[in-house]
Amino acid sequence: MCADVLASLQTPPGKGGIAVVLLKGPGAGLMLDRLFTPRYSRSHDLPGLLQLGALADNGAAIDEVVVRRFDGSVEVNLHGGPAVVKLALEAFARAGARVVPTNPADVFEPSHPRWNNPAIGGEMLHHLGCCRSPLALEALTTQWSAGLSELCASALKADCRISPDRLRSAAAGLDVMTKILNPPEVVIAGPANAGKSTLVNALVGRPVSIVNEQAGTTRDWVRVLTLFMGLPVWLTDTAGLMPEHAGLHDVDVEAMQRARQRAAQADLVLLVQDRPGQRSVDGVEGGLLLHVASKCDVAQPWPGADVAVCAEQEMGLDDLRKAVLTRLGLWAFDPSTPRAFTGRQHLLLMEAAGAIEKRAPREAAAALQAILTL
């Protein structure tokens, strides 16, 4: 057994190019020797030496890895797929290591002004892999380097003489951060030939859906990640919703069913039409619908439409993006606003706000301190 070895994933969980696992503790080198076979040489005692080789558990291959030994620790560089990382951590655990969460102090330079804030730092590392755009990345990392960290630190410094509303508003920010880290699903629905696929292509900036004057061109739905004002959004193009009649092919009925299923699961549905017609989509609440008048170069925007676009000439697209972000509560997003991004931070902020209102500053301070240091 190597019970004195701690194994921790140093890179954000999720899909990635590489993953780094740190084995820390006096038995780390010995543990590695049992699972690792260097490809070229066994002369592995040189500190800092990089070695290429095979990681295997009882003869079962896990990955080809690069290892580096330093100060009694071992850094194992793996391929970054979640399955490989899982297998490697399981093998280290079977060999006797204790698998622990990442300690930010192992990742960041101690000279960083926030390095003594390991709780938000660790949670940030955990969520890094969810960031789908530079703005999303900024929104997350800022909570550690300023935002939420600074709010808690300044409240502690002021002996909790701070408006509880500021803490509550940071707690409420969890809703926005959740949407930033898990991009919202926006589904484009509407009658055949309304210009849905043209609109998706114009919004994404490349041809993801086939456009044709023939009705019923889009059969299965097409989903693509795109950015609206720097914020990631999943856009789904769907088959046209046609009036059901006896002559309809089975494949059209199936395509419409799939379109309705996607719409029913969406955070927002854009009902696109070049003339007034449908006011609703089966299974979608009215509050989740945005009415889009299309082809406004040749058709008058009809009354009741929320936005008018001409996708072919790329007109009205920014108005549409703004309307979508507004409905999703993401318009005018400022990444530096202090916001909770985990349920733990949310609960502790609410607890601190309640304690300040009850005039219990020590209780409030304990909750704020816990946000920073666990």
Ligand X SMILES: Nc1nc2c(ncn2[C@@H]2O[C@H](COP(=O)(O)OP(=O)(O)O)[C@@H](O)[C@H]2O)c(=O)[nH]1
Q: Which is nearer to ligand X, 217 or 369 (CB)?
A: 217
In what side-by-side order are the strands of the sheet with 60-70? 36-38, 50-57, 60-70, 73-79, 18-24, 6-9, 98-99
Segment contacting Mg ion by CB under 5 A, of 55-63, 157-165, 214-222, 282-290: 214-222
Q: Which residue has the tokens 């400022």?
A: 334
Segment contacting ligand X by CB under 6 A, of 90-98, 103-111, 147-155, 190-198: 190-198
The answer to the question of residue 218 lying near ligand X (CB under 6 A) is yes
Cα angle 333-178-19, degrees, rounded to a multiple of 5? 110
Q: Which is nearer to Mg ion, 142 or 218 (CB)?
A: 218
The answer to the question of residue 238 lying near Mg ion (CB under 5 A) is no
Within 153-182, the residues that bind ligand X by CB under 6 A are: none
SS3 61: strand
Q: Which of 227, 222, 218 is nearest to 184 (CA)?
A: 227
The separation between the first and the last C-alpha atoms of the chain, rounded to the nearest angstrom, is 30
The answer to the question of residue 212 lying near ligand X (CB under 6 A) is yes
Evaluate whether 301 touches 308 at the Cβ level (below 8 Å).
yes
The answer to the question of residue 195 lying near ligand X (CB under 6 A) is yes
Q: Which is nearer to Mg ion, 142 or 294 (CB)?
A: 294
Given ligand X, Mg ion, none, residue 295, with its beta carbon under 5 to 8 Å by kind, binds ligand X
Evaluate whether 11 touches 28 at the Cβ level (below 8 Å).
no
Given ligand X, Mg ion, none, residue 297, with its beta carbon under 5 to 8 Å by kind, binds ligand X
Retrieve residue 256's tokens.
């419409």
Within 220-249, the residues that bind ligand X by CB under 6 A are: 240
Q: Which is nearer to ligand X, 63 or 252 (CB)?
A: 252
Give the footprint of ligand X on this chain (CB under 6 A): 192-198, 211-213, 217-218, 240, 294-295, 297-298, 310-312
